[in-house]
Amino acid sequence: MSDKKQASPLVQGYEVVIGFETHAQLATQSKIFSRAPTAFGAEPNTQACAVDLALPGTLPVMNRGAVEHAIRLGLALGSHIAEQSVFARKNYFYPDLPKGYQISQFEIPVVQGGEVSFFLGDEKKTVRLVRAHLEEDAGKSLHEEFHGMSGIDLNRAGTPLLEIVTEPDMRSSAEAVAYAKELHKTVTWIGICDGNMQEGSFRCDANVSVRKPGEPLGTRREIKNLNSFKFMQQAIDYEVRWQIEQIEDGHAIQQATVLFDPDTGETRAMRTKEDAADYRYFPDPDLPPLVIARDWVEQVKANMPELPRQMAARLVQTYGLPEYDATTLTQSPAMAAYFETAAKASGQAKMASNWIMGEVSRRLNNEEKDIAQVPVSADTLAALLKRIADGTVSNNAAKQVVDALWSGEGSDVDAVIEAKGLKQMNDSGALEKIIDEVMAANAPMVEQFRAGKDKAFNALVGLVMKASKGKANPQQANDLLKQKLQ
């Protein structure tokens, strides 16, 4: 159940209710019911075999790899893995659907229940899953370049998909995007999906409705094929405003499927419930029920990586990190590994966490880079953290060190500190000398302080720091100045 620590955010007095259906393309070598390869971007119809073309006499044979991917997701999200699930035919005519039906799962899906947890700001949210089922993708209709005709590319036909369906647990577009990001993180983390949203490997449909708090669920409209997190938020926000406007104007919402147009920022109805097809689902007689024995699940479990939430718990336990830090650092296996290396090598876990979530992430974001492309290695960062901890450099000076390391100006922390003269002045004799000089040159200020003006103290510290060219240890400067003023 959703943690309701805070009341749902209301939009013009309405509560927003969102549920998701996500199609994750499974990263298998071959298709779900044939041995044709699944490579993206090949010449049309070169990645389709007789089975994908639905030639007479061809039959589907289940790809066990696709089933294992489904089991992995179920294990990652705490779902029930059905001992027996059923493939069904969803019948409809479309030129890029070669058999005239899609093999999917209807009444008994392979993955049942489970949940996705994530932080929205510093609030923990949990979205319940209804199910995740295996199905095959259709081909593509190409309407350009054929002068009044349509081309059909069946390369994608038969590509394995896992359709992941949530309960209507989300209450804002921000929460929906956070859910989608968390799910995206999970499927890529466990290696079942490459997560490439541009290529359509991870596409979301959002079911959106609004209601006055306490009222039953409103009529939903389904926004199809949201393929970026940015569009997701825009589309939902637009849809919510549109629905509220309709209701306020006295119009009832009609159940419909809509598309988001990124150019106009609007959603537009594709079809309404009235022209919804009757898919005539029935169990596919070409495929016996999918039986998943317990030991198969155990085998898959044995090969699972440590999951984000397990890892986050371990980071809290081992390094004493706050839960927020642990969750943030487990955005990807690479990020988590970067943190752990830096924390271990420096012995400064919290400092490492702060630096990675702050300075490192900020720079990566600015350059639209991934942690895998970070120019400063975790060991190098650790060396710098040690120098902060032992007082060799100040925090501010350390940022200058990172600048140099990031740009490739230097690669050794100590060498950079040396070359840039960023070492803190820890020698009290030299510092005392500077303080004496500053006090002598600013006698009126010293008098003000002694007369009871505390502000003058800070000004004096600033002057000391300036005179030391920033190398003075601020704490030491503070202490020494205090002594001398007494």
Partner 1 sequence: MNELHHLGVAELAAAIADKKTSSVEAAQHLLARAKEHQNLGAYLAFNEDLTLAQAQAADARIAAGERGPLLGVPLAHKDIFVTQGFPTTAGSKMLAGYQSPFDATVVSQLAAAGAVTLGKLNCDEFAMGSGNDNSAYAPVHNPWDAARVPGGSSGGSAAAVAARLVPAATGTDTGGSIRQPASFTGITGIKPTYGRCSRYGMVAFASSLDQAGPMARSAADCATLLTAMAGPDIDRDSTSLDHPAEDYTRLLGLPREGATAAQPLKGLRIGLPKEFFGEGCAPDVLAAVRAALSEYEKLGATLVDISLPRTELSIPVYYIIAPAEASSNLSRFDGVKFGHRAAKFDDLADMYKKSRSEGFGPEVQRRIMIGTYVLSHGYYDAYYLKAQQIRRLIAQDFQQAFTQCDVIAGPVAPTVAWKIGEKSDDPVANYLADIYTLSTSLAGLPGMSVPAGFGAANMPVGLQLVGNYFKEGELLQTAHAFQQATDWHLKTPEGY
Binding site for partner 1 (CB under 8 A): 50, 53-62, 89, 91, 93, 95, 98-101, 152, 278, 280-282, 284-288
Per DSSP, what are the bridge partners of residue 259?
224, 268
| DSSP structure class, residue 108 | S
Nearest Cα to Cα of residue 257 among 280, 273, 241: 273
Per DSSP, what are the bridge partners of residue 152?
141
Report yes or no: 132 and 41 within 8 Å, Cβ to Cβ: no
Least distance between partner 1 and beta carbon 278 (Å): 5
Nearer to partner 1, 92 or 269 (CB): 92
Least distance between partner 1 and beta carbon 349 (Å): 52
Nearer to partner 1, 44 or 474 (CB): 44
How far is the first Cα of the chain from the last one, in angstroms, to the nearest whole number?
Answer: 61
Least distance between partner 1 and beta carbon 90 (Å): 10
Nearer to partner 1, 97 or 132 (CB): 97
Nearer to partner 1, 28 or 348 (CB): 28
Least distance between partner 1 and beta carbon 135 (Å): 16
Least distance between partner 1 and beta carbon 300 (Å): 21
Q: Looking at this protein, which amino acid is placed at residue 46?
A: T
Query: Is 230 exposed, middle or buried (CB count within 10 Å of its CB: 0-12, 13-18, 19+)?
Result: exposed
Nearer to partner 1, 285 or 408 (CB): 285
Nearest Cα to Cα of residue 443 among 426, 460, 468: 460
Nearer to partner 1, 98 or 195 (CB): 98
Give the containing element (helix H, strand E) for 84.
Answer: strand 84-85
| Cα separation, 287 vs 6, whole angstroms | 48
Nearer to partner 1, 103 or 371 (CB): 103
Torsion of CA 354, 359, 364, 367, to 10 degrees: 160
Report yes or no: 335 and 364 within 8 Å, Cβ to Cβ: no
Least distance between partner 1 and beta carbon 106 (Å): 11
Give the containing element (helix H, strand E) for 382.
Answer: helix 378-389
Nearer to partner 1, 61 or 415 (CB): 61
Least distance between partner 1 and beta carbon 273 (Å): 13
Nearest Cα to Cα of residue 417 among 395, 386, 384: 384
| DSSP structure class, residue 147 | T
What share of residues in the chain are helix, strand, coil (percent, to 5)? 40, 20, 40
Least distance between partner 1 and beta carbon 54 (Å): 4
β-pairing, 256-261 with 221-226?
Answer: parallel
Nearest Cα to Cα of residue 369 among 404, 334, 328: 334
Nearer to partner 1, 239 or 284 (CB): 284
Least distance between partner 1 and beta carbon 224 (Å): 20
Nearer to partner 1, 288 or 322 (CB): 288
Report yes or no: 164 and 114 within 8 Å, Cβ to Cβ: no
| Residues with Cβ within 8 Å of residue 153, at least 6 apart in sequence | 44, 45, 96, 139, 140, 142
| Cα separation, 97 vs 52, whole angstroms | 9
Nearer to partner 1, 94 or 358 (CB): 94
Least distance between partner 1 and beta carbon 58 (Å): 7
Least distance between partner 1 and beta carbon 361 (Å): 49
